Structure 1
Amino acid sequence: MNRTRLAPYFHPTQIVLVDDDIDFLGNLSLQLEADLPYLLFDSTEKALGYINDRDDESPSRQRFFRLEEERDGRRRVTLDNEALAREMHFTNRFSRISIAMIDYAMPRMNGLEFCSRIRDPHIKKILFTGVATEAEAVEGFNDGVIDRYIRKSDHNVYEHLNRTIRELQHTHILETFKTAIDVFDVDVPPLLGDDTIRQLLATLRSRYEFVEYYMVFNPTGFVLIDGDGGLYRLVIVDEAEHRAMVERAVALDAPDECIRLLRAGDNLLDPAFMNRARSAPSDAYRHWKSHMRVAERVEGARIYRWAVFESDPREHGITRPTATFNRYLEWLDTVGYSLM
Structure 2
Amino acid sequence: MSTIKPFYFPTTATFVDDSPTFLSNLCLQLDPQLAFQLFSSPAEALQAVNNAPRPGSAEEPLFAPFRDRTDEDVAQQVISLSVNTVRNQVYNPLRFRAMSVVVVDYDMPGMNGLEFCRRMTDPAVRKIMLTGKADEHIAVQSFNEGIIHRFIRKQDAAAIPALNRAVRELQSAYFDNVCHSIVDTLALSEYAFLRDEVLAERVAELSASLGIVEHYISYCPNGLLMLDNRGHAYLLIIHTPETLRGVREIAVEQDAPAAFLAALDSRRSVPYFWETEGNYPDQCASWEDYMHPATTLSGRQDYVYAVISNPPGLDLERVTSYDAYLDKLDRDMERTWSSKS
Shorter-chain TM-score tier: 0.7 to 0.9
Match of 1:19 among 17, 31, 43: 17
Tell me the CA shift for residue 40 of structure 1: 0.6
Change (3 A) 1:62 1:169: farther
Matched with 1:305 is 304
Matched with 2:108 is 106
Matched with 2:50 is 52
Aligned-partner SS, 1:25: helix
Q: Is the 8 A contact 1:32 1:162 kept in 2?
A: yes
- Mapping of 1:121-200 within 5 angstroms? 121-154=123-156, 156-178=158-180, 189-200=191-202
Match of 2:241 among 226, 232, 239: 239
Distance between the aligned counterparts of 2:173 and 2:259, measured in 1? Answer: 45
Tell me the CA shift for residue 145 of structure 1: 0.9
Matched with 1:332 is 329
Distance between the aligned counterparts of 2:123 and 2:98, measured in 1? Answer: 14
Aligned-partner SS, 1:108: coil
Change (3 A) 1:62 1:143: farther
Tell me the CA shift for residue 257 of structure 1: 4.5
Tell me the CA shift for residue 283 of structure 1: 2.1
Change (3 A) 1:153 1:297: farther
Aligned-partner SS, 2:61: helix
Q: Is the 8 A contact 1:15 1:99 kept in 2?
A: yes
- Mapping of 1:75-94 within 5 angstroms? 77-94=79-96
Q: Is the 8 A contact 2:16 2:42 kept in 1?
A: yes
Tell me the CA shift for residue 312 of structure 1: 3.7
Match of 1:30 among 8, 13, 28: 28
What are the superposed Cα offsets for residues 122-176 of structure 1, whole Å, 9 maximum, x if unpaired?
2111112234432221111111111111233445433332232222223223312
Matched with 1:120 is 122
Change (3 A) 1:223 1:286: closer
Tell me the CA shift for residue 38 of structure 1: 0.6
What are the superposed Cα offsets for residues 213-242 of structure 1, whole Å, 9 maximum, x if unpaired?
111122211111222322211111222113
User: What code does the residue aligned with 2:308 have?
Assistant: F
Tell me the CA shift for residue 118 of structure 1: 1.3
User: What code does the residue aligned with 1:139 have?
Assistant: Q
Tell me the CA shift for residue 329 of structure 1: 0.8
Is 2:322 the counterpart of 1:320?
Answer: no
TM-score by length of structure 2 reads 0.82
Tell me the CA shift for residue 192 of structure 1: 3.0
How large is the Cα RMSD of the aligned pairs?
3.5
Count how many residue pairs are aligned between Structure 1 and Structure 2.
332
Tell me the CA shift for residue 292 of structure 1: 2.0
* Comparing 6-15 and 64-73, the one that deviates more: 64-73
Aligned-partner SS, 1:40: strand
Change (3 A) 1:44 1:70: closer
Q: Is the 8 A contact 1:126 1:149 kept in 2?
A: yes
Matched with 2:292 is 292
User: What code does the residue aligned with 2:114 have?
Assistant: L
User: What code does the residue aligned with 2:325 have?
Assistant: Y
Change (3 A) 1:48 1:226: same
Tell me the CA shift for residue 202 of structure 1: 2.6
Runs (4+) of structure 1 moved beyond 6 Å?
55-58, 70-75, 184-188
User: What code does the residue aligned with 1:336 have?
Assistant: M
* Comparing 326-335 and 203-212, the one that deviates more: 203-212
User: Does 1 or 2 have the higher relative contact order (CA < 8 Å, sep 6+)?
Assistant: 1
Change (3 A) 1:210 1:180: closer
Change (3 A) 1:180 1:208: closer
Matched with 2:267 is 265
Match of 1:206 among 205, 208, 212: 208
TM-score by length of structure 1 reads 0.82
Tell me the CA shift for residue 298 of structure 1: 4.2
Distance between the aligned counterparts of 2:265 and 2:279, measured in 1? Answer: 18
Distance between the aligned counterparts of 1:190 and 1:223, measured in 2? Answer: 17
User: What code does the residue aligned with 1:329 have?
Assistant: L
